[in-house]
Amino acid sequence: MSGNILEVAGLTAGYGQIEVLHGLDFTVANGEIVVILGANGAGKTTTMRAISGMIGRTGSVRFDGNDISTARPDAVLRAGISQVPQGRGTFTDLSVEDNLRAGAYTVKGSTVGDLDRWFEVFPRLLERRDQRAGSLSGGEQQMLAIARAMMNRPKMLLCDEPSLGLAPIITQNLFKILGELRDEMGMALLVVEQNAGLSLKLADRAYVLETGHIVATGTGDELLADDTIKQAYLGGVG
């Protein structure tokens, strides 16, 4: 459990002429859960898309000993990073099973074992195996999005605002599942969130992102205790 699996240095990215990330530095250790906390427009999704190669970026991204700074999305996946995109990104017209099969697109050989395994972890998905993914509830779609990402047999999971649009009780359950992925499989997790209360409890370490800059960092507990953070991201309730 030592060493960093992900090392990001001087990461800049944006859309067209507009730069959104102005040089981010952060790391994720093996088996660590890191949360990047930020408000709307801070650059959370851009950070995710930059790591997974969905948009152009400069700076250095090293993963598991490989330089993936200029890798395309399929190469990032093969290196071992899967992403659960914001808004789930399920293939709504495809069946639940086909969604999972699509998740294993870059995996060579049989994935029947993986399919059985994730159906065991998420029995709800097994019940709805042949249904169109678009007919699932929000919480079920989030499960599907996570299971689909896991079909790629990743070493690290990127989750883009998993709590978005979910009832608090479902978010709690979801974060419990994310914690279990780490505890049982040693999976490293990078989660971006604006929901500070729950996500900081899940996090080993966290960064605070504001308008494309990292402005604070610490353990989850440290940031939870910080007054400025409380006011900005917990509505002062703490």
Q: Is 85 in the site for another protein (CB under 8 A)?
A: yes
The site that binds another protein (CB under 8 A) totals a number of residues, namely: 22
Nearer to another protein, 83 or 163 (CB): 83
Instruction: Spell out the alpha helix ranges (H) of the chain.
Output: 44-51, 73-79, 96-103, 112-121, 123-127, 138-150, 168-185, 196-202, 220-225, 227-233
Residue 207 · residue 217 · CB < 8 Å: yes
Residue from the set 14, 51, 57, 101 that interacts with another protein by CB under 8 A: 101
Q: Which of 25, 64, 98, 210 binds another protein (CB under 8 A)?
A: 98
Smallest gap from Cβ 141 to another protein, in A, equals 11
Q: What is d(CA 148, CA 16) in angstroms, rounded to the nearest whole number?
A: 30
Residues in CB range of 66: below 8 A, 6 or more apart = 79
Question: Cα separation of 214 and 142, whole Å?
Answer: 28
Phi-psi group of 43: left, alpha or beta (phi > 0 → left; psi -120 to 50 → alpha; rest → beta): left
CB of 46 or CB of 203, closer to another protein: 46
Which residues in the 102-121 window bind another protein by CB under 8 A?
A: 102-103, 105-106
Q: Does 148 bind another protein (CB under 8 A)?
A: yes
CB of 236 to another protein, least distance (A): 30
Which residues contact another protein by CB under 8 A? 52, 54, 73-74, 77-78, 83, 85, 89-94, 98, 101-103, 105-106, 148, 152
